[in-house]
Amino acid sequence: MNADNKTYARYAEKRAKKSPVLQNCARAFTVGGIICCAGHALRVLWSAAGLSEDDSGMMASVTLILVAVLLTGFGKFDEIAKFAGAGTLVPITGFANAVASTAIEARSEGLVTGVGAKLFTVAGPVIVYGVSAGAIYGAVYFVLTKLF
């Protein structure tokens, strides 16, 4: 880092607004917890409707995805995310928002060259690295269980 960059870094650091870390963590924890509790409540409701344990879990996930996509489409998910920060990134709702917002942005370019081509530009790497990490961890777990 040269002298100009160091000078600018000190200048920017002096003028940057300090982040309220504890408040941000509390908001993320609270909103993320609310989303998880809503997911559990949906699972209980779907079970009460007569679905099996596996099916009620799947329907709770589908319902959370639907709600997240609708909130994204109406522009409300961003408002919630601005307040809650990482709390909205509870995996299923954050993933749904990433896919839906990319599709909304690309809709003017058409269904194939816009939405179809760019749908997974944000979520695609998450899928690739998630599956890769799962495969690696699974292989390591398999080897360790055979050794010990």
The model's pLDDT over 29-87, given as tens digits with 9 standing for 90+, comes to 999 999 999 999 999 999 999 999 999 999 999 999 999 999 999 999 999 999 998 88
pLDDT tier at 100 (50, 70, 90 boundaries)? confident
Cβ–Cβ under 8 Å, residues 73 and 104? yes
Instruction: Please name which of 29, 39, 28 lies closest in space to residue 65, comparing C-alpha atoms.
Output: 39
Residue labelled with tokens 């942005």: 105
Position 40 scores a pLDDT of: 96
The model's pLDDT over 20-30, given as tens digits with 9 standing for 90+, comes to 899 999 999 99
pLDDT tier at 89 (50, 70, 90 boundaries)? confident
Compute the mean pLDDT over every residue in the chain, rounded to the nearest whole number: 87
Exposed, middle or buried by CB within 10 Å (0-12, 13-18, 19+), for 43? buried
End-to-end CA distance of the chain: give it in Å, rounded.
48
Residue labelled with tokens 């997911």: 39
**Two tokens, residue 75:** 């522009």
